[in-house]
Structure 1
Amino acid sequence: MASPEQGGATPPPATTSSHGFGWYVLRQLGVRLRQLIVLLLVVSTVLFMLLRSTGNPALVMAGENATPQQIAEIEAFYGLDRPLPVQYVTFLSQLARADFGTSFSSNRVALELVLERIPATIQLAVVAIALNLLLSLFIGGFLGARPWRPERRATLVAVLIMQGIPAFVIGLLLIQIFAVQLGWLPSIGNQHPLAALLPALTLASFLLPRTIRLTAANVEDAMSQQYVRTARAGGAPGAVVLWRHAMPNALLGTLALVGVQFGFLMGGSLIVETIFAWPGLGLLLVQGVRSTDFPVIQASVFVIATLVYVINAVVDILFPLIDPRLKARWS
């Protein structure tokens, strides 16, 4: 089909006006559910094979001075002595019931251990996203509204430098400054009311550069639009033009990116949670890897993959509610 630049007619956007937005949501939910099932099956299978190739957890559980008979008894108790195909079939049957077995380390149901850690990870992700969004709006708005100012270049250089610094380095610097030297904020655990601030700032520092650059580019584009020029011609102050006219439209792309980032934080905060001893999913997964705890590792990865996919799918499905231009297609 010829493109508009080649003189061809632009095809009308696909709509489902006869059913509306509700039908679109239901159809997308069905598609996403099928995709999620396939994703979880593939991820769980690959993880099952990788874990069985890393070593024998019975050696870790038995200890250094264990006899071969003790190791064999542990293997028989957990079914690790069975042929790999038999273990895989058993694993699939348990997976269908969301049963990952009992933790080798704590002798508790693995899925219960994972579910207990979800609130802490969500809390950390929400605070990090809030800080990321707040700082991005102000810095990105400043950069996009003043593209000709010399301080814009200096700020942009600082943002690019931040993008090249690993998050764990920033986390260690924050601990050294605010926890060790100044003693203002705690750096371990989540018992203090302000305990989430330092790890959330560490995560936000990883997200900020890309969010700031996207927001700045969107604001700069919005400031060149006709409705902004009309507002300026009407005598509206610069702050009103930026925050009331340009920013709402520039914010649409930023919100889409933030939604994707939130899904990433649910599974991408392993190092940060480990540095700050934050009792979330990331720390539990690291502890499971250290102790070769197959059930905990499998349950953690399963839950993280589910959360990341569901969050991204919800953002994709509901984004037309945020963007009026997309919502109009389903009215």
Structure 2
Amino acid sequence: MSVLKSTGLLSLQLLSLLLVTVTLLFFLVRLTGDPAVVLSGESGDLDALALLRTKYGLDQPLYVQYFTFLANAAQLDFGVSWVEGRDALAIVWQRIPSTLFLAATGMAMNLAISIPLGTFLGTQLAPRMRKALDIFIFVMQGVPGYVVALFLIQLLVVKYHFFPSVGNESGLSWVLPSLTVASFLAPKLARVIAVNVAEAMQEDYVVMARAQGARYSTQVIRHAFPNAILGATALIGTQVAGLVNGIIITETIFSWPGVGRLLLDSVLLLDFPVVQAVVVLTTIMVFMVNWGTDRLMEVIDPRLKREARA
């Protein structure tokens, strides 16, 4: 019974989220302009515009378009791309793997940087080095991702020719986009881990291990770090959800063929079916990532599950 209740609540939450999202999406995209003008080009006359509006149902009253859109969206039918002439959802599905791959490599690099950095900061070793790292992290938190991307391109592509600057066809082309993604994730995660490690080092179980003669590295790695990473799990889940939603700027700068770049191109071309398919699909994915993070937290720390039931 509890499983059915939980499933029903989850479905209700997802449906409510999708209804609000698609409603806002429908009306907002139609404020961006008339797609018939874009599709017809500069040479389009009034007859051509009228034909395009009739072809895509843009001549119907807005409320008719809205309810038609809702009925089709409920079946995950977003129509055909007005630019490419192919199924909009199929186009999005083609781009999803590239975005997920970039999200995975960026998150892996984020963890590879933030975990040792945050652990080091939390142990309060080498005060001068710690202060320098604190300043560096503080500065990086305020630097936009596109600034880091442009700097990396200027230094490692234009000047030294170490990496290709566009596409995702080789392993080397993955490095700069992944590093860019990590650059705006790692500072915050490193700070959270540092605070958690510092707090864990003062806990009774670490003090007891210290009193029993455990080495400092053992105190940190075996006792303090597992509890510190537990507190950072929610932030990691939030960061993953944000990446799944599309890394628009990074994908655009590096010509990465992902969902973020597809969304930007479709908005500029007023390709409503593709825009709607991207937003609805990524909304579902973000919701499921957040739900999965909550379940993972309950598995790692059963106290959260007991509190939720209470």
Instruction: Provide the C-alpha distance between the structure 1 equivalents of 2:193 and 2:24, rounded to a whole number of angstroms.
Output: 38
1:134 to 112, 117, 133: 112
Q: CA deviation at 1:30?
A: 2.7
1:272 to 242, 250, 255: 250
Corresponding residue for residue 189 of structure 1: 167
Q: What runs of 5+ residues in structure 2 fail to find an aligned partner?
A: none
Match of 2:205 in 1: 227
Shift in Å at residue 151 of structure 1? 2.4
Structure 1 residue 149 displacement after superposition: 2.1
Is the alpha carbon distance of 1:325 and 1:92 closer, same or farther for their aligned partners in structure 2, counting shifts above 3 Å?
closer
Q: Which amino acid aligns with 2:242?
A: F
Residues matched between the structures, number: 308
Asked if structure 2 preserves the Cα contact closer than 8 Å seen for 1:28 and 1:317, the reply is no
The offset of 1:309, in angstroms, is 1.1
User: Which position in structure 1 is the counterpart of 2:137?
Assistant: 159
**Is residue 141–residue 215 contact of structure 1 (8 Å, CA) maintained in 2?**
yes
Look up the match of 1:169. Answer: 147
With normalisation by structure 1, the TM-score equals 0.89
Q: CA deviation at 1:86?
A: 1.1
Deviations for 1:142-192, whole angstroms, at most 9, x for unmatched residues?
110116823222211110100010000001111112222222222211101
Residue 297 of structure 2 corresponds to residue 319 of structure 1: yes
Distance 1:278 1:266 in 2: 14
Counterpart code for 2:98: A
Q: Does 1:56 align with 2:34?
A: yes
Distance in structure 2 (CA, Å) of the matches to 1:328 and 1:43: 32
Deviation at 1:218, TM superposition (A): 0.2
Paired residues of 1:228 and 1:246 also in contact (CA < 8 A): yes
Of 237, 262, 271, the match for 1:259: 237
Paired AA for residue 218 in structure 1: N
Query: Which residue does 1:199 correspond to in 2?
Result: 177
Structure 2 residue corresponding to 1:297, chosen from 263, 275, 286 = 275
Question: Aligned to 2:123, which of 145, 168, 171?
Answer: 145
Q: 1:61-100 maps to which residues of 2 (within 5 A)?
A: 61-100=39-78
- Within the candidate set 203, 214, 217, 1:239 is matched to 217
- Counterpart in the other structure of 1:6: none
Q: 1:282 aligns with which of 260, 266, 276?
A: 260
Q: 2:99 maps to what in 1?
A: 121
DSSP-derived class of the 1:133 partner: helix
Measure the CA separation in 2 of the matches of 1:27 and 1:226.
39
Q: 1:83 to 1:326 in 2, by over 3 A?
A: closer
> Aligned equivalents of 1:148 and 1:184: distance in 2?
33
TM-score, normalised to structure 2's length?
0.95
Distance across 2 between alignment mates of 1:254 and 1:290: 37
Q: What's the Cα RMSD here?
A: 1.7
| CA 248–95 in structure 1, closer or farther in 2 if over 3 Å, else same | same
Q: 1:327 to 1:42 in 2, by over 3 A?
A: closer
Structure 2 equivalent of residue 33 of structure 1: 11
% identical equivalent positions: 45
Quote the residue 2:188 is aligned against: 210
Q: Which amino acid aligns with 2:86?
A: R
The structural deviation recorded for 1:208 is 1.1
SS at match of 1:196: helix
**C-alpha distance 133-287 of structure 1, shift in aligned 2 (>3 A):** same
Residue 53 of structure 1 and its aligned partner are, at CA, apart by 2.0
Select between 288-297 and 251-260 the one with higher mean Cα deviation: 251-260
CA distance in 2, matches of 1:29, 1:261: 25
Shift of 1:324: 4.9
